[in-house]
Amino acid sequence: MSELNFNPLVEDPVKLKTLSRRRFFGLAGGAAASVALIPGVGSSESQAAVAVSDLNALPKAPAPDDERAWEEVASQFLLRDGLIYMNTGTRGPSPRYVHERQVEALEGVNSDYLGYSRHVANADFTKALRQKLADFVGVDSNEVALMNNTTDGMITGTWGPVLEPGDEIVYTNHDHVGGTHPILHRVNRDHLNLKVVDIADRKFHPPRSADDYLKAFEAALTPRSKLLSFCHVNYTDGGILPVKEICEMARARGVLTIVDGAQPPGMMKLDLHELGCDMYAGPFHKWMMSSMYTGFFYVREDVQERIEAILTITPPGKNMYGGTELASFWDDYMGSAAKYELRGSTNTPARMAMDAALDYHNHLTPQAIEARDRYLAAKLRNGLRAISGVDVYVSDDPRLSCGLVSFTIEGVATTDLNDMVWERHNIYIRNVTHKEVDWDVNRASMHIMVTAAQVDTLLGAIEEIAKG
Ligand SMILES: Cc1ncc(COP(=O)(O)O)c(C=O)c1O
């Protein structure tokens, strides 16, 4: 086993780094064997044959309709044989490359924590990871914090701004509890006002134009509004909101913006500076397909002073003994978004999986992945619209939708539909149900573990069920 993993006897940091990056699945089959022990997982011959230890063995930026290339990509997932996975919007399983890097790191920390954290998962690694992440989302490295999920960022951004009683926080009625519930807590405790943007109306399903969204936001803001929270992509219906226009409008009125970016990272190429929001919280465990419990939080450099790091152990200007001298350890955290990170020990293998996921996406390229997701989603939307009795709630306009497709079959309960496609075809989709705003749909996520043939299987299943 020690042959395959991090070797504590190697003291040369360069060698250690090289060793740590060796794909040990490929070397002697140790971890590959452990994967095969899980019944039905990674056990098929085809999966064994395509085990990837080298990203360069994967196609580079395939065209959206290059089925052969994308099938090769899809075959790299550890998904159980026959499972058709269409719920990346909740959790994106890691492709083999990312999985291997995470397992490798887990073995590193368990075989020699000290050596591994000194030579591999050290401060340089963390800085490089922030830089790679920042490049990926189009910002500067001092503007991103490594977090555990979207909710982490939403909580931090909600409690961070200084607000006075009577100030108003605004959110939409298609937001997620990860964003709304921290707001409800703060509103209650600090005697703030709450305002809700109504985007539940039928005219948003599918939305006719981005302008309809913008008008709804404009109408909701008041002179007391101080913080506006909304989703970049609604998890409920899959609609893309016009973030840039909404943030411009909010900034002109002196309102801070926090965007719930749970869905776009890994699905859409991101340029957060271009979007112009003040804060953006995203996960790495959904469309980025990194480990569970990974994410990031972006805060624009020029608003960081106004967003306090109150949920961390970052020193508030002085040390625990009252002095203003701070240990050099804090240099990496003070004066940048990294100040939002520190809440005790972290999960090193998960951080390594973030790094691997970035490499993975950069290899396939975010543009190619987005184009593939859009291609599959268009195929699904078109197929669904052609089935009598099926309603689709996302737009065909690429500015208004991407990889999430929401739909219903008339007369079929959404939970029953989940069960039917699962029991009959091993297809995993979900429902999103919020009766309070008359919302109850099925939702399918189109990402790169899905093949065009699988979309046809789903369409066939829906047609059969719609016919009764
Ligand atoms: C829009 C939205 N916000 C927040 C969340 C919560 O995300 P996380 O689990 O990364 O905190 C989700 C999860 O599905 C979501 O879809």
What's the CA-to-centroid distance between 320 and ligand 1, angstroms? 35
Structure tokens at 175: 């937001």
- Determine if ligand 1 sits within 6 Å of the CB of residue 176: yes
Query: Per-residue pLDDT for 67 more than 80?
Result: yes
- Residue 291 pLDDT greater than 70, yes or no: yes
Atom index in ligand 1 nearest the CA of residue 178 equals 4
Query: Residue 389's closest CA among 409, 368, 413?
Result: 409
Q: Does the beta carbon of 155 lie inside 6 Å of ligand 1?
A: no
Question: What pTM did the predictor assign?
Answer: 0.91
At 291, list the tokens: 């480990």
Ligand 1 centroid – CA 24 distance (Å):
33
CA of 330 to the centre of ligand 1 (A): 30
The pLDDT score that the predictor gives to residue 9 is 39
HSE (CB half, 13 Å, CA atoms) of 90? 11
174 Cβ below 6 A of ligand 1: no
The pick from 235, 237, 287, 297 for probing ligand 1's pocket by mutation, whose C-beta has the most ligand atoms within 8 angstroms, reads 235
In the chain, the domains with their CATH numbers are 13-101 (no CATH), 125-363 (3.40.640.10), 367-466 (3.90.1150.10)
Q: Are 381 and 363 in contact (CB under 8 A)?
A: no
pLDDT tens-digit readout, 180-238: 999 999 999 999 999 999 999 999 999 999 999 999 999 999 999 999 999 999 999 99
Q: Is 47 in the pocket of ligand 1 (CB under 6 A)?
A: no
Whole-angstrom Cα distance, residue 134 to residue 141? 5
pLDDT tens-digit series, residues 111-125: 999 999 999 999 999
Distance in angstroms (rounded) separating the CA atoms of residues 240 and 204:
11
pLDDT for the residue numbered 54? 85
Instruction: Output b/e per residue, 145-169; b: 16+ Cβ within 10 A.
Output: bbbbbbbbbbbbbbbbbebeeebbb
Protein residue closest via CA to atom 12 of ligand 1: 262
Rounded Cα distance between 450 and 162, Å, is 44
Give, using CA atoms, the residue closest to atom 14 of ligand 1: 90
